[in-house]
Amino acid sequence: MKYGIVVNTGPYTHQASDTAYHFTAAALGKGHEVFRVFFYHDGVNNGTRLGVPPQDDRNLPEKWSSLAQQHDLDLVVCVAAAQRRGLLDADEAKRHGKDADNIAPGFRISGLGQLIEAGIEADRLVVFGD
């Protein structure tokens, strides 16, 4: 089965981000394909490299980055939602005159077309969060 995953909530505001991560890891572990993980609304906050959770807490952005590296996952952050929340890659930071970027390794910024494509290409589009 080929899955598309949508994550709509931030990494520490709702259980949905954890559940999305565990679902994705389990699907990959069972041999399923994950076409793309699309982070939308507050879900884009899963893609920041500047979060510093306590040492005894999970680091979801780091977990997503590691999973992406292990499985060549396409982690896409919605550009409009990211800009509203101050999440920028190097190109967006330069374009907007900012002096830094904060996107985590393995994530990329793109538009809603990537979400539409995931819905078309995947057998199932699974949405986590509102």
For 53-62, write each residue's pLDDT tens digit: 888 888 999 9
> What are the helix (H) ranges across 72-102?
79-84, 90-95
- According to DSSP, the residues that pair with 128 across neighbouring strands are 7
Q: Judge whether 75 and 39 are in contact, CB under 8 Å.
A: yes
Q: Is the pLDDT of residue 47 over 90?
A: yes
d(CA 117, CA 95): 26
For 77-90, write each residue's pLDDT tens digit: 999 999 999 999 99
Domains of the chain and any CATH numbers: 2-51+58-128 (3.40.1260.10)
Place of tokens 């995947």: 122
Backbone angles phi, psi at 17, to 5 degrees: -65, -45
Residues taking part in catalysis: 78
- Strands 2-7 and 107-110, bridge-based pairing: unpaired
Q: Above pLDDT 90, what percent of the chain?
A: 91
**pTM to 2 decimal places:** 0.96
